[in-house]
Amino acid sequence: MAKKNIEKTSESKKIQDLETHKVDYENNPMTTNQGLKVNDTNNSLKAGVRGATLLEDFLLREKITHFDHERIPERIVHARGSGAHGYFQLTKSIKKYSKAGIFTDTKRKTPVFVRFSTVAGSKGSPDLARDVRGFAVKFYTEEGTWDLVGNNMPIFFIQDAMKFPDLIHSVKPEPNNEIPQAASAHDTFYDFVSHTTETLHNHIWAMSDRAIPRSLRMMEGFGIHTFRLINDKNESHFVKFHWKPKLGVHSVTWDEAVKINGADADFHRRDLWDAIEAGHYPEWELGIQVVPEKDEHKYEFDLLDPTKLIPEELVPVEIIGKMVLNRNPDNFFAETEQVAFLPGHIVPGIDFTNDPLLQGRLFSYRDTQLSRLGSPNFHQIPINKPITKVYNNERDGHMQMDIPKGQGAYFPNTLMGGCPHLSKMKEGGFTHYEERIDAKKIRGRSESFSDHFSQPALFYRSLSDWEKEHVAQAYSFELGKCTQKHIKERMLWLINKIDKNLAKTVAENLGMKVPKSINKPINQAIGADANVKEHQPQDPKNYLDEDPALSQANTKFDTIETRQIAVLVADGFDMKAFKKMTSTLEKEGAMVKLVAPHGGTVTCSDNMEHEVDAAIATTESVLFDAVYIPGGKKAVKALQKEAKIKKFINEAFKHCKAIAADGEGEELLDTTFVADYKDDAAVCINEKPKQFRDAIAQHRNWERRKVAMEVPA
């Protein structure tokens, strides 16, 4: 498909030209970092061609020194990431809630940079780890930079930032042997989770399909915390932010995730990059859940508790804008690696709440950027620079890239005419919301934070049958990797408080029984201070039977845009059937890839050569969303000789994907597991292309899952 024309805009400095920057290398010869032209970068300066290298070789020293120092510390968490540029546009003004220009001016096109990431793994870990995904958006607004730093899950593991180092230490590779990488299936993590019951809500999300998304473009994003919106009357409303993907919320199976990590460890990164390059720009709607301040204590959960979501059945999400990503970074390190997100970056019209996790993040993020980027001047790095002018009295510091002018660097002053002057609120100056505070200093936690089971139970009740099966399988796999029996027993006891049938299934898979009690009361296990004794986790409440928005079974199933279709071909494949099918698929944005017994080219029945996208030996079915066989007697005969072709089809069937065949292509299916299941709703034999298209749009035929279990792995 031809790349779409990229819209050029002039609303801001960050959106001047969205086309790939090209360097004129012919007229720009190589230079040193000082601009000196270089005529040899292959050989060091020596005393004769076989002599010692000379100390005076400044070209060698510069090149090697830069190489030796070109790495910076990777992020402690969210080290593995992918990024893209784009824009946000408001579609509905919410002036009644916020005075922020980004929420009141529908004519603006605000540039953004988005970074997606995994949490636990190192920078070199694979994309398809079972993990929470980071979803961080930097808005370059006309009032300053706003960073909405969230995840693809609406809650977090812990309630107080004090526990964050413990959480991350538990899930990272165990310190004695640095094993396992990018995995939570080990003793230290479950030792922590089983003793820290506030983690159970985020944990069950991590055991669901949400933790293994099909694409970064097919996952939701959440601001996690409850923030404030402040209007021009200085009235406050509580708000939660949601990103809803245009393509719906879809995932892979765990079996696929394991195989994708081996077949293409960069699967998500490549998918995002290729989609943007092809002009299939990822798009999300921005939605908000707004709660008036008078309703702060209306619900059975605390709005300031980051382990709780607001069910959409109780407070619907109001769509107010859209975000489109339309340009890949020009340089991964300079942009994706050096971008610095801080939850403390806000603009007038947005403010914080007393969420104790959010309060800790306001400190931690700036601290970690100082460590990674080496200077308080990290805001001067191009990817971090605001589009507004920066005027203040801050000077010097490591790697100062500006040249501040003037005699003074203090306030107040007369030598610089009092400049820079302070802005009044009516001129756009930021002022904090005047929240009344009257409390004693205390190390403790509100009793309203002590319900740790109701929302995990609500989440599980809201899932479809196939999603529930995947959750049970995930718990079984993860706990099956633990070696300590007492840890598994504690987890089974806790899962039983969420759902008895879930606990029973997991216990049977582990060859254990659900314990009726655990040896140590929770308060003794995690520290017997008075506050813990007083506020024990409450038994689950049922204040809502289901919230349909929590299930991926209720996502969008109306598009096949960017779906990867493997077309199995060999010399002599039926061009008429191929053209009829693929023209329909490509017209709706699907990506058709030819998979053949060999690389190079294949010749169709019309004697035309077609370039092969992948030889069967170099690819796997898990990299595709559907399989099509166009037929052709000669082609099918050649395909039948390839054992991996049959494995390819069987595996696609096992993973409940759509499969289609025309003409003699049915004969190839007859040699596979599909032969006995031609009446399957997502197996299309000699059907109209629309039927295959509709089957692909459904993502999977989960009704097939019981049969699929019989297919060999």
Q: What angle do CA 7, 8, 11 make, to 5 degrees?
A: 120
pLDDT at 224 over 90: yes
pLDDT at 228 over 50: yes
Question: Distance between CA atoms of 581 and 662, rounded to whole angstroms?
Answer: 9
Confidence of residue 22 (pLDDT cuts 50, 70, 90): low
Q: Which segment of 403-407, 639-643, 690-694 scores lowest on mean pLDDT?
A: 403-407
Question: Distance between CA atoms of 497 and 488, rounded to whole angstroms?
Answer: 15
- Domain, as residue range, for 574: 557-708
Task: Please give the mean pLDDT across all residues of the chain.
Answer: 93
Percent of the chain residues past pLDDT 90, beyond the cut: 84
Stretch (H or E) spanning 611? strand 609-611
Predicted confidence (pLDDT) per residue in 336-357, tens digit? 999 999 999 999 999 999 999 9
- pLDDT at res. 476: 98
Q: Name the domain count of the chain.
A: 2
Q: Which segment of 178-182, 310-314, 394-398, 575-579 scores lowest on mean pLDDT?
A: 394-398
Q: Does residue 565 sit within a domain?
A: yes
- pLDDT at res. 17: 42
pLDDT at 469 over 80: yes
Among residues 349, 373, 397, which one ends one of the domains? 373
Give me Rg for the CA atoms of the chain: 28
Among residues 373, 404, 426, which one ends one of the domains? 373
Confidence of residue 519 (pLDDT cuts 50, 70, 90): low
Q: Which amino acid is at 111?
A: P
Confidence of residue 5 (pLDDT cuts 50, 70, 90): very low
Closest CA to 229 of 237, 221, 217: 237
Structure tokens, 118: 């995994």
Indicate which residue of 21, 66, 69, 78 is catalytic: 78
The number of beta carbons lying within 10 Å of the beta carbon of residue 85 is 21
Active-site residue, 78 included: yes
pLDDT at 522 over 80: no
Confidence of residue 604 (pLDDT cuts 50, 70, 90): very high
Q: What's the CATH number where 616 sits?
A: 3.40.50.880
Average pLDDT rounded to a whole number, residues 691-699? 98
Q: Does residue 412 sit within a domain?
A: no
Confidence of residue 517 (pLDDT cuts 50, 70, 90): confident
Q: Does residue 618 sit within a domain?
A: yes
Percent of the chain residues past pLDDT 70, beyond the cut: 94
- pLDDT at res. 532: 47
- pLDDT at res. 413: 87
Rounded to the nearest 10°, the torsion over CA 612, 617, 619, 625 is: 80
Average pLDDT rounded to a whole number, residues 381-387? 95
Q: Does residue 404 sit within a domain?
A: no
**CA pseudo-torsion sign 554, 559, 564, 565:** positive
**CA pseudo-torsion sign 476, 477, 479, 482:** positive
Q: Does residue 369 sit within a domain?
A: yes
Q: Which amino acid is at 406?
A: G
Closest CA to 490 of 201, 189, 206, 210: 189
Among residues 373, 389, 408, which one ends one of the domains? 373
- pLDDT at res. 439: 84
Question: Distance between CA atoms of 291 and 315, rounded to whole angstroms?
Answer: 8
pLDDT at 526 over 60: no
Q: What's the CATH number where 218 sits?
A: 2.40.180.10
Predicted confidence (pLDDT) per residue in 254-280, tens digit? 999 999 999 999 999 999 999 999 999
Question: Distance between CA atoms of 683 and 585, rounded to whole angstroms?
Answer: 16
Question: Distance between CA atoms of 540 and 454, rounded to whole angstroms?
Answer: 4
pLDDT at 524 over 70: no
pLDDT at 153 over 60: yes
Q: Does residue 599 sit within a domain?
A: yes
pLDDT at 647 over 70: yes
Q: Does residue 325 sit within a domain?
A: yes
Q: Does residue 631 sit within a domain?
A: yes
Active-site residue, 151 included: yes
Q: What angle do CA 593, 599, 604 make, to 5 degrees?
A: 65
- pLDDT at res. 426: 77
Indicate which residue of 21, 28, 151, 225 is catalytic: 151
Q: Kindly report the three-state secondary structure assignment for every residue of 206-265.
A: HCCHHHCECCHHHCCEECCCCEEEECCCCCEEEEEEEEEECCCCCECCHHHHHHHHHHCC
